[in-house]
Amino acid sequence: MNRVHNFSAGPATLPLEVLEKAQKEFTEYQGMGRSVMEISHRSPQYEAIDEQAKARLTELLDLGDDFEIMFLQGGASSQFMMTPFNFLGQDQTADYIDTGRWSNKAIKEAKIFGNVHRPFSSADSGYDRVPTNDELELSDNPEYVHFTSNNTVAGTQFPSEPETGGIPLVCDASSDLLSRPIDASKYGLIYAGAQKNVGPAGVTIVIIRKDFLAKADTENVPTILQYQTHTEKIFNTPPTFNVYMVNLVLEWVQEKGGLPYFKQFNEKKAALLYDEIDSDDFYRGAVEKDSRSLMNATFRLPSEELEEKFLSEAKEHDLMTLKGHRSVGGIRASMYNACPRESVETLVNFMKDFRKNNG
């Protein structure tokens, strides 16, 4: 088996232990003579998977009994639309903190349903930072405050939840969910495409606080796009194999030590790489240091020609998927929970050699 060092921004690397367990169960699940992909989503066996995954998420995020959890489809992009469809009327305002490509897309969708106020935007500086709480200029009475906790394209991340004075947070947590503990009491809604930290592409995790859900206005909202439709029941056929994989990843996260373990693990991995970036001027971080992401490190080299050479030679060392997003270029190393420390160490050693040979 030749496993490369996979720095893909998503779909991203998955824990080898999870892949091996899924491989063993792939053709027959729990003595049923069928794969988990071949059983009904109404069967007791699949309902147990669904319930176990939700229980594990509840425990890991310390949600208590205050939240509903749903496994939907359509990715985070569907939630850009579904959230304001349920929670933002024509005469209402929601605040959207604009820190990158994905928050900007969420803003575009929300404007279809109601008023959008931007309490902060770093668009003019190329989305190179996230705001401090002092910089947030919230509107007078927003229905919610939306933010993207980690920005995969630019490589920025909120160090903690924005302060809103009690206004519920709505968060696109696609690329850092389960990478560190959160304060669940501050959130009305959290959504995340699973394909970064939590599982394979194809399932969208939605977590809604029950008292926030009670405020949803479902008039003229199609049934399948109402969050209430998906509470306490499986309304339509979910991506069953993907949810099964999510459940295995959640089990793995628990066995490793939960979110406090991964917070420390991810901080140490990122420090290795950022220390190398900052060691001189050959590598240059693409965003402000106080806003740097633990999940997606972005940096540049002295020229685009050197960047192409860097990427080409990196592949020869099994360092894969390091090219920055097409909209910004440069180099991007994504270091989600399942990215081993050894992969980051190998990348850093390559960077040292590349600088020595090309500096």
Q: Summarize the annotated binding site for pyridoxal 5'-phosphate as residue ranges.
A: 76-77, 102, 152, 172, 195, 236-237
DSSP state, residue 163? P
- Helix axis angle for 341-358 and 304-316, nearest 10°, is 130
Q: Which residues are part of a known binding site for L-glutamate? A: 42
Residues 6 or more apart from 169 whose CB is under 8 A from it?
144, 145, 146, 147, 161, 162, 186, 187, 188, 189
Pair type for strands 93-96 and 145-148: parallel
DSSP state, residue 292? B
Query: How much is the CA Rg of the chain, to the nearest whole Å?
Result: 21
d(CA 242, CA 236): 15
Secondary structure of residue 239 in the 3-state scheme? coil
Catalogue the active-site residues.
102, 172, 196
Helix, strand, coil abundance in the chain, percent, nearest 5: 40, 15, 45
Q: Which residues are part of a known binding site? A: 42, 76-77, 102, 152, 172, 195, 236-237
What is the layout of strands, in order, in the sheet containing 145-148? 67-72, 204-209, 187-193, 169-172, 145-148, 93-96, 115-117
Is the CA virtual torsion 252, 254, 259, 265 positive or negative?
negative
CA 107 vs. chain centroid, Å, equals: 18
What stretch of H or E contains 169?
strand 169-172
Secondary structure of residue 225 in the 3-state scheme? helix
Q: Which amino acid appears at position 318 of this protein?
A: D
Nearest C-alpha neighbor of 300 from the set 327, 324, 331: 331
